[in-house]
A = this chain, B = another copy of it.
Amino acid sequence: MEKTSAEDRAYREIIQLILSGQFRPGDFLLEVDLAPRLDMSRTPVSRALGRLVAEGFLNKMPKKGCYIPFPSPEDAEQIFFARMAVEGQAAASAALKATNQEIRKLKRILKADQEAVASASKESFAQINEQFHLGIARASRNVYLEKWVINSFWRSNIYIFYFDSFYKTPVREEVPPQRTPSQHAAIMKAIEERNPEEAALQMREHIRNTYELLLLGR
């Protein structure tokens, strides 16, 4: 039975709408548009948007509405730097606290990861990548780090989705991130060996690499 509240449904559906590319940076997500679309009143929609703003996923102008933030090089540097801090610590904490079951699950994701790069579509890769990063955050057994990892991961997706088309002249072919699986593997190895410093180091290096690949194009 569905016990989920309308606000939670709105929260998830709005995220899906954004992630499915229905909106672009600068687009306003209007309560009056979303409410009928999600078949509910403005109230839960408005509260869900408020959550997304509080979490830093959307920006807001008072009396105007919530909108997808414009990607900017300065904001990109800030969000990826912040990700390095929290995900690095999350990886270190995971190396100390992950259960064997969690490690097995992460290794399964890693395997799917390697297969996805070889063949599968961009969407499935993005999904597996998310599972890996959020799985490590959960394994850190720290609810605060986990929440921040989730929030910053989504926010940085703004750049993974939109930055190219805004700041690069040709919309270049989405190169399958060939180096990602080996970096994921290095993080995984450090966690399995219960080496927190190495796990943090590898995670920070991985995120830095993602950042440079994305924004600097190398």
Binding site for B on A (CB under 8 A): 5, 47, 50-51, 54-56, 62, 75, 78-79, 81-82, 84-86, 88-89, 93, 141-145, 147-148, 152, 155
CB pair B147–A62 under 8 Å, yes or no, is: no
Inside 8 A of A82's CB, which chain B residues have their CB? 89, 142, 144-145, 148
CB pair A142–B50 under 8 Å, yes or no, is: no
The residue in chain B whose Cβ has the minimal distance to the Cβ of A151 is B144
Contact partner, A142, options B47, B81, B93, Cβ 8 Å: B81
Contact partner, A81, options B79, B81, B93, Cβ 8 Å: B93
Inside 8 A of A142's CB, which chain B residues have their CB? 78, 81-82
Contact partner, A86, options B51, B55, B62, B85, Cβ 8 Å: B85
Q: A47-B50, A62-B5 are in contact. Are A56 and B144 (CB under 8 A)?
A: yes
The residue in chain B whose Cβ has the minimal distance to the Cβ of A89 is B85
Inside 8 A of A88's CB, which chain B residues have their CB? 85
Known: A81-B145, A82-B89, A148-B148. 8 other contacts (CB 8 A): A54-B54, A56-B144, A78-B142, A78-B144, A82-B145, A82-B148, A85-B88, A85-B89
Inside 8 A of A141's CB, which chain B residues have their CB? 78
CA distance A83 to B170 in the complex (A): 42
Interface centre among A82, A88, A142 (most CB of B within 10 A): A82
Contact partner, A145, options B5, B47, B85, Cβ 8 Å: B85
The residue in chain B whose Cβ has the minimal distance to the Cβ of A79 is B144
Inside 8 A of A79's CB, which chain B residues have their CB? 144
The residue in chain B whose Cβ has the minimal distance to the Cβ of A85 is B89
29 residue pairs A–B, Cβ–Cβ below 8 Å? A5-B62, A47-B50, A50-B50, A50-B51, A51-B54, A54-B54, A54-B55, A56-B147, A75-B143, A78-B141, A78-B142, A78-B143, A78-B145, A79-B144, A81-B89, A81-B93, A81-B142, A81-B145, A82-B145, A84-B89, A85-B86, A85-B88, A85-B89, A85-B145, A86-B86, A86-B148, A144-B152, A144-B155, A148-B148
